[in-house]
Structure 1
Amino acid sequence: MNVSRDTPRGVLRPEIQALRALAVLLVLLFHFWPHRIPGGYVGVDVFFVISGFLITAHLVREVQKSGSVRLGAFWARRIRRLLPASLLVLVATAAAVFIWVPQLYWPQILREIAAATVYAENWQLAHDAVDYLAAENVQSPVQHYWSLSVEEQFYLVWPLLIVIAIMVARRIRQANPIGAIRVTLAVIVLASFAYSVYETSANGAAAYFVTPTRAWEFGAGALLATLPAFGRLSGDRTRAAVSWLGLLMIGVAAFALDAATTPFPGYAAALPVVGTLCAIWAGAPALRWSPLGLMKSAPVQKLGDWSYSVYLWHWPPIVIFALATGDKMTWPVKFLAIAGVVALAALTKRFVEDPVRFRAFAGGRRLWPQYGAAAVSMVMVLSVVFVGNQLLEQSSRANNSRLDQLLAGGTPCLGAEAMLAAERCADGPLGSQLYPEMSTLTKDTGSAYRCYDQKPAADLSSCRIGSQRPDATKVALVGDSHAAMLIPAIEGHLEAHNWTVDTYVARGCIWAKVDAADQADPCYARRHAMAQRLGTGPKYDLVIVTGRRSASGDRPTADGQIRGYLDAWQPVLERGTRIVVVADNPGLGEDDMSCLVDDAANGGDPTRCAVDRKAGLGTRDALADAARRTDGKVRVVDLTDLFCTETECPLVIGNVIVYRDSHHITATYARTLGPHLVERITGALAS
C-alpha cells in the first residue's frame, strides 16, 4: 500500500492536508471571484481523489488485518465525521433563509435543504438541470452540498463493493483479496470515465452533478491506495519533481479551464485528477526545493484541518446576500464574509466536529446509538423544512381561496379587467394582496404543462379539453411554452363556446415548413409530424398558434422564419381550416423581476414595477408578422392592450402578478385574460 516513507502510519500526512487546503482555497476563491480563477471548481475534484485514496487506504488496512470490512463500524465513523457539521450548517442556513430571503425562493431552497439532508442534492440539481420548469431556478445556498452527496454515496457503495470483491476472490480461490479489489476498481474507473466523457458531451448540465460521471475520480484515488509503494523505490528528487508537477497540473486546471467554455467533467477532469494523484504518490520528500516546506507551514496545515467546515460555510453567505439584497458583494464585504467563514469553520471544528468524532460514543462498541442519533438529527432538519413548507402551504391555500372567490364573482378590477377600466381601478379597490402569492409564483402554471413535450419528437403528445359534444368546433392549440400558458386562459370558456381543443405544445419548436435538407435540425421530426397531423390528418376547424418572440429553434433570420410559417400554413388553409395567431406577450429584462421580488419582500409597492413598453415589445414577433402578410387569411389576435399602457408594461395588473419569470405569464393572469382572448378570437373569425 502506498504510504509515504516520511510519515509514520497513523500520523496525518502533510501533503494530504496541503491538498485539502489547496482544494478548498480554489473553491473559495472561485465562488467569491469567479472571473479571477475561472476553473477553481476543480478543487472539488481534488477532494474526490483524496477521499477515494484515504478511505480505500483505511479499508485495505482493515482487509489485510482482519480479512474483511466491518461495514457498520465504517459507516458509523463516516456519520461521526461528516454529519454533525453538515446538519449544523443546514439548520443555520434554513434560519437565515426564513429571516432574510424573499418567500418567492423558499420552496426551491427548502426542497434542496431536504435533498441535502439525505445526501441527494446532486440528483436534485441534475433533475432541475434538465427540467424546463426549473430553468429559472436561482442558485440556492445549499447547492454546494451536491459534492458532499456524491461523496456520501461513494462511502455507502464502495465498502459494499470491496466486500463483494473479497467474497468473489474467496469463491474462486483467489489468494490475494487486494488483487480482486484492484480489478474491481479498474473496471469502475474505466467504465465511469467512459460514461463521464459520453454524458458530458450528450447532457452536460446534468452530467456535472450525477454520481456515475464522478465515480472514476474517487476510484482513481482508491486505486492508488491499493498499489505498491512505488514512492519508496524512487529518489527524493524524482518524488519532489512529481509533487511539483502535480501541484502545477492542479494550478493549470484552475486557471485554464472555464465553466462557460469547457465541458466538465469528461476529459477535462483528468487534469486535476492526475495532478492530485501525482502529489499524493510523491508524498513528502524532504528536499530543500521540494514543496514540503510550503505544505508543512502552519497556515496551510490549519486550513487543511478546517477545510471541511470552510467548504460547508463558504457558500450560504454568497447566495443569501444576493437574494436578500439583490446586489453583489463588494470587495470589502467579500473579505468580511471570508473572515466570518474562517471563524465559523474554526469554531465548528473545535466545538462540533472534533467532540463528536473523537469523544462522543468514544469506546462504545454498540452502533445503534450512533445511527439513532444520526437519524434523529436528520429528522429534526427535515422537520424544519416541513414546518416551513406547511406555513407556505397554509398561506397559499388562503390566497387561492380568496382568488377563486374574486374570479367567480367577476370582480371588475382583477387582473386584465383593470387595464380596461384603468380610471375606475386606479385607487386599488382590492387592497394590497397579490395573486398568486409570491412563494408560489414560479410554479403558477396551472394546467399548462399537463401534456407538454420537453424533448420534441415525432411522437406528438396531446390533451383534449373542452366540449365533448359531437357538433363541437374542433380546435388545435399549437406552439411552445407560451402556447401552453394559454391553456389556463381558455379552458374555463370552452364549454360555453362549444369548442373541443387538442393541445400540441412543446419546447422550442414552432410549427413551420420543413424540407428534406433540414433533417439535421432538432425540430425536424416534430415539425414534420405537425405538418402531417394538421395537413393530412383529421381536419380541424381552427388552429390557434403562438410562440415566444424569436423563439429558439427557429430559422436563423426573421425572413426565413416568416417564410417557414407561411409555407406551413398554406396547405392547412387550403383544407378550409382557419388559423389565428395570438401575438406574444411582452418580455422582461433580466433584472426587471428583481423589482417585484424586492418590493414584495421589503414592504415596498410592487405595483410600481414595470418595463418600458418599447423594451418589452422590442423583440420581433415573427409569427404575428407572418400572419399580417397573408391578406387576412390568417388573423392576428393582439392582447397588448391587456399587458401595456401607452408607455409601460406593468408587472402587476389589478393585484395579479403578470409574469412568473422573464417571459412566461402566470396562470393566474392567464385566467383573467381568458374571456377577452376567446372573445377576440371569435370576433376575428366572424370578421
Structure 2
Amino acid sequence: MTAPVGTPQQSAAQPVPSSPYRYDLDGLRGFSIMLVVVFHVFVGKVSGGVDVFLLLSGYFFMGTQLRYAMRPNPSLNPWWPFWRTARRLLPALAVVLAAIYAGIQYFTPQIMSHEIARQFKASVLYYQNYELSIQDAAYAAAGSQTSPLQHLWSMSVQGQFYLFAITAGILVAFLVSRVHVGVQRVRRWIVVILALITIASFAYASRFGFVGTAANYYSFPSRLWELSFGALLAMLPAKVAVPARFQAPAAGLGVTMIAATGFIIPTSLAFPGPAALIPLLGAALVVLSGPQHVVAKLLSSSTMTWLGKVAYSLYLWHWPLLILLTVYLGKDKPSVLLGFAVIAVSLALAHLTYTFVEDPLRQHAKRPKATDTPVRNALDSLSTFTGRAHAVGGAAIAVLLVGMLAILPIFNRQVAQASGELDPATYPGAMAQFGADVPRALAAPDPHFIADMWPPTVDRGCMIFMDQPGDLLPHEGCVFGDPEADVTVVLFGGSHAEPWVIPLDQIGRERGFKVVTYVRQECPLVLDDLDTVSEVCAEWSRNAFAEIIALQPDLAISNATRPAGRAGAGGVGPDIVPGAYSTVWDKLRLNGIPFVGLRDNPWVFSREGDHMDPNECLLAHNTMKDCSTLRSTVYAPKNPAEQYLFPANKQWTIDTANWFCDDTYCPPIIGNIYVYRDQNHISNAYAASTAPVMWNSLQPIFDALELPYRNDETLDDLRIMED
C-alpha cells in the first residue's frame, strides 16, 4: 500500500518520462487500490489488489535498497534506512489510528474490546497479521462484527519485509564496499537468492492446495514470495523484457488479469497460494512490458498516478470508515449508498493526509553516503521555519504513537476497575427473581467492558481453549472453593458450564467443599455423537472423562441442556438434551459418580431469530423490551432434562429458567446487573448473584448424598424458597 520510499512524484501534467523511474507503476498502484476499495465496499471479497501492492512494495523498496548498496561508498549505518522508512510510514498510520480510536470512543463504543485494544498495539508495532491469527480472526467481508483494524495486517507484512530488505541491503553494501565483491557478481547472486526465496515461500504458501487457512493468509513466510517476486523483477537485467511489439498487449493482459481476480477467486483463503499467481503474473507482465506503450501511458495519467500517490492513505482510511459507519448506522452490512459515501470521504481524507502529513514529514533528501553528515544537516535545519515545523510535526506523531500503545494498558485497567464486587443490597441480581428489593441504581458492570470480564478459570489458566491440543488437561492449581476440604465437586463442560465456577467457588469456600474444573471452549464433553464437536474436542473429552473417573468426585456438575446444533453454535427453538449428554450421565452412574445437570442459560435472539448481543443492543439506545429475548424462543415449557435425570439414580436436574426469565421475557438486566457477557454467556457478576439460589438447590442434594457441609446461621438466612 505504500508509495516507493524516497522516490519523486509526477506532477499532474507531466508526460511519461524516459527516466528509469516507472510512473506507470504508480498508476498500477492506483488501479490496484481502486480495486481493493471497490471490492471491500461493494463486493465483500478479496480483489487481488493487496497482492499487487505487496509485489510493488518489493519492487520499489527492496530494489531501492539493493541498488543503493551497490553504488560507490554506501553507508553501512542501518539507522538511516530505518529512519527514512519510519518517516514515510508512521505519520499517516498514527493519524488514522488516532482517528479510529476517537471514532470508536465517541460513536461506536460498543465495539471496543480487549481484542481491539491489542490490535492497536499490534498495528503500531507491525505484527497485526500475527495478532489477527492469534485471535482466530479470519479475513472477513465488511460488517458490524468486523474489526476496523483488520486491514492493517498487510501493513505489518510490509513492515516485516522492510526489515528483511534493509538487512539485505546492508549485507550487500558490506560485501561490495568492504569485501570488494564485484557488483555484477553480487547482482547475479541476488537474482538467484531472490528466485530461491520466492520459490520456497510460494511452495510454503501453497502447502494446503488451492484453499488454505486464516493463519496462512496472514503469515509472513507465506506472503514473502509476493514481495520477493517484486524485488526479483527489480533486479532482473534490462534485457529481460517483453519484446517491443508485444508490450502493449502484454501489459493489457496483465491489467485484465489483475482486474479479473476478484471475480474468479471465490474465497480469501485461496491467497496467497496458487490463486495469487493470477494478479501477480498480471503485475509482472506490466512491469516487464516497460513504460513506452499505450497501456503505460494510461497508467501514467494524472488520475491514476494521483491515486497511486495517495494509495497508502486511501488504504488506511477506507476500511475503518466503512466499518465504523456501518456499526454507527445500525446495519449488519454496508449499503450501496453508504459505500459511495465512504469512497468519497476516503478519497478526500487520503488527499489531505498525503498533502499535510505524509509528504511534509517524509525524508525528501537522498539517502546519505558514508561521507555525508546527515545529523549536522538535520540540526542546522532547525534554524529554519520548515525545519522547526518538521520537528514539531514529528513530535506530535510520536505522541500519537505512544498514545496508541497506551490503549491496551488503559483498557485493561478500566476492565479491572469495572470488575469489582457489587453490593448485593444495591445489586441483588438473580435474587430479584425471588423477591429481593431492587433499589434505583445504574446497572453494573459497565457494559462497555463486560465482554472482557472472564471467569476466574481464564485468569488461572484453567480454561482450555479450542485451539489447544486434546491432551492438555487442567493443572493442579485448577481447584476452587475450599482446596483443603474432603468433599470434591467436579464442574465439567464447555464455556456455558464455565461461569458456574463463580457461585460454586463462593459456596465451596462458605460450606466447605472443593471444586475441580474440567472446562474447554466449545466442548461440552461428549463420548459419542461426535459429529456435533471437533475431533480435538472428542479427544479432550475422552482424556478429561478418564481423569474425572479416576478422581472419583463426590458430585459432578455440568449443563444438561442446550439449543440444537453444533457445539459453539445455537439456533432458535426450545432447548433440548443432546443424546451425547445422556451417554455421559449413564457412564457417570455406572462409575458411581452422582451428577447434577443445570439447565442452560438463555441464548439471546432478536424477534427475527438472529443472534443478538443484548449489551450492544442497549448501548445502541434500544429499549429493555427490544433487547430481551422471548422465553418461548429458547425454553421448552418443561425442563427436558427431567426425562433423563432421576434422584433414584443419584442424578438431579436444576431448572435455572426462572433465574433468567419471567413468564414472557428473558431481560438483559435483572436486579441492576447486566445478565450477559455476550450473546450467550452470562456475566461474572450475574453468575455470582446466583450463589444463594444455587445453594438452595444443592443443599437437598448434599443431604441426600450425606455429604458434610458447614452450617452457618448467617448463611442459612440467605436461603430462599423458589415457590
- Aligned counterpart, 1:120: 127
**Contact 2:35-2:259 at 8 Å conserved across structures:** no
- Aligned counterpart, 1:644: 661
Distance 1:113 1:173 in 2: 44
- Aligned counterpart, 1:448: 457
How far off its partner does 1:250 sit? 1.4
By percentage of residues, which structure has more helix? 1
- Aligned counterpart, 2:355: 350
- 1:513 paired with 2:527, answer yes
Distance 2:661 2:150 in 1: 37
Q: Which runs of 5+ in 1 are unaligned?
A: 1-5
How far off its partner does 1:502 sit? 1.4
Listed one character per residue, the Cα deviations across residues 538-559 of structure 1 (whole Å, up to 9, x for unaligned) are 3111111227544635999x99
Counterpart among 30, 47, 52 of residue 46 in structure 1: 52
Q: Report the residue type matching 2:431 in the other structure.
A: E
Question: How many residue pairs end up in the alignment?
Answer: 655
- Matched ranges for 1:276-425 at <5 A: 276-286=283-293, 290-327=294-331, 328-357=333-362, 365-366=374-375, 376-377=395-396, 379-385=398-404, 399-401=418-420, 404-407=421-424, 411=425, 414-421=428-435, 425=437
- Aligned counterpart, 2:252: 244
**Contact 1:392-1:439 at 8 Å conserved across structures:** no
Taking a change above 3 Å as real, the CA distance of residues 222 and 512 of structure 1, as seen in their structure-2 partners, is same
Secondary structure of the 2:291 match is: coil
Secondary structure of the 2:206 match is: helix
Counterpart among 221, 225, 235 of residue 230 in structure 2: 221
- Aligned counterpart, 1:57: 63
Q: Report the residue type matching 2:361 in the other structure.
A: V
- Aligned counterpart, 2:12: none
Distance 1:654 1:224 in 2: 67
Counterpart among 554, 558, 578 of residue 541 in structure 1: 554
- 1:474 paired with 2:488, answer yes
**Contact 2:69-2:172 at 8 Å conserved across structures:** no
Distance 1:69 1:673 in 2: 69
How far off its partner does 1:163 sit? 3.3
- Aligned counterpart, 2:197: 188
TM-score, normalising length: structure 2:
0.80
Distance 1:7 1:683 in 2: 89
Secondary structure of the 2:56 match is: helix
Q: Which runs of 5+ in 2 are unaligned?
A: 1-15, 380-386, 705-723
How far off its partner does 1:439 sit? 2.4
CA RMSD of aligned residues (A): 3.9
- 1:658 paired with 2:662, answer no
Distance 2:637 2:237 in 1: 64
Listed one character per residue, the Cα deviations across residues 577-619 of structure 1 (whole Å, up to 9, x for unaligned) are 10111121111237664563254365x6557620111223379
Distance 2:614 2:540 in 1: 38
Work out the percentage of aligned pairs sharing the same amino acid. Answer: 27
- 1:29 paired with 2:48, answer no
**Contact 1:314-1:338 at 8 Å conserved across structures:** yes
Q: Report the residue type matching 2:289 in the other structure.
A: A
Secondary structure of the 2:162 match is: helix
Counterpart among 259, 272, 275 of residue 268 in structure 1: 275
Secondary structure of the 1:436 match is: coil
- Aligned counterpart, 2:479: 464
Taking a change above 3 Å as real, the CA distance of residues 447 and 275 of structure 1, as seen in their structure-2 partners, is same
Listed one character per residue, the Cα deviations across residues 227-252 of structure 1 (whole Å, up to 9, x for unaligned) are 122455x4223222321222222122
Secondary structure of the 2:100 match is: helix
How far off its partner does 1:480 sit? 0.8
Distance 2:203 2:451 in 1: 37
Bigger drift between 277-286 and 558-567 goes to 558-567
Taking a change above 3 Å as real, the CA distance of residues 374 and 485 of structure 1, as seen in their structure-2 partners, is farther
Q: Report the residue type matching 2:463 in the other structure.
A: Y
Q: Report the residue type matching 1:451 in the other structure.
A: C
Q: Report the residue type matching 2:244 in the other structure.
A: D
Distance 1:559 1:128 in 2: 30
Taking a change above 3 Å as real, the CA distance of residues 100 and 514 of structure 1, as seen in their structure-2 partners, is closer
**Contact 1:62-1:69 at 8 Å conserved across structures:** no
How far off its partner does 1:632 sit? 5.2
- Aligned counterpart, 1:667: 684
Listed one character per residue, the Cα deviations across residues 279-334 of structure 1 (whole Å, up to 9, x for unaligned) are 21222342xxx523532333222222221221122122112212333225443333
**Contact 1:231-1:239 at 8 Å conserved across structures:** no
How far off its partner does 1:643 sit? 0.8
Q: Report the residue type matching 1:56 in the other structure.
A: M
Secondary structure of the 2:678 match is: coil
Distance 1:220 1:609 in 2: 52
Secondary structure of the 1:66 match is: coil
Q: Report the residue type matching 1:255 in the other structure.
A: F
Secondary structure of the 1:52 match is: helix
- Aligned counterpart, 1:3: none
Q: Report the residue type matching 2:153 in the other structure.
A: W
Secondary structure of the 1:468 match is: coil
Taking a change above 3 Å as real, the CA distance of residues 163 and 200 of structure 1, as seen in their structure-2 partners, is farther
